[in-house]
Amino acid sequence: MISPFNILFLSFAIFFTLVYMAEQNPNDILVNIGGKQVPLSRVNKPHHRILDHNKKPVPDPNTFPEVEPEAREREAKLAEERKAAAEQREKAEKGKDEE
């Protein structure tokens, strides 16, 4: 036999399910967050300020940090190697021209 408590619990469950279904928009996009499908309209959004997509803030390139020291050293070393290779090619071409 079903107890009155079970009937009460079942009626509350049905009530809350119907309320939840009434709040959902059928055109709402569902997003998978943490293994759960959540309507996109329920996800918190920054309501205080919405930027116009045509007026995005452009960062100043002069304020970016310097390149990592290892990368700067590697670039200098590669530049020296390229310069040395170019000089060797020039010497080889001059040697062929003199012969």
Average pLDDT over residues 22-42: 76
Residue 2 has a pLDDT of 80
Task: Please give the pLDDT value at position 51.
Answer: 63
Give the pLDDT confidence of 34-89 residue by residue, as tens digits.
888 887 777 766 565 666 677 777 788 788 777 788 888 999 999 999 999 999 99
Residues 66, 59: Cα–Cα separation, whole Å: 15
d(CA 35, CA 74): 44
Question: For residues 45, 46, 48 and 52, what is the CA-based torsion angle, rounded to 10 degrees?
Answer: -110
Q: What angle do CA 40, 44, 50 make, to 5 degrees?
A: 100
Residue with the bigger pLDDT between 66 and 7: it is 7
- Type and span of the H or E element at 75: helix 69-98
For residue 81, the model assigns a pLDDT of 96
pTM for this entry: 0.32
* Consecutive H or E run containing 87: helix 69-98
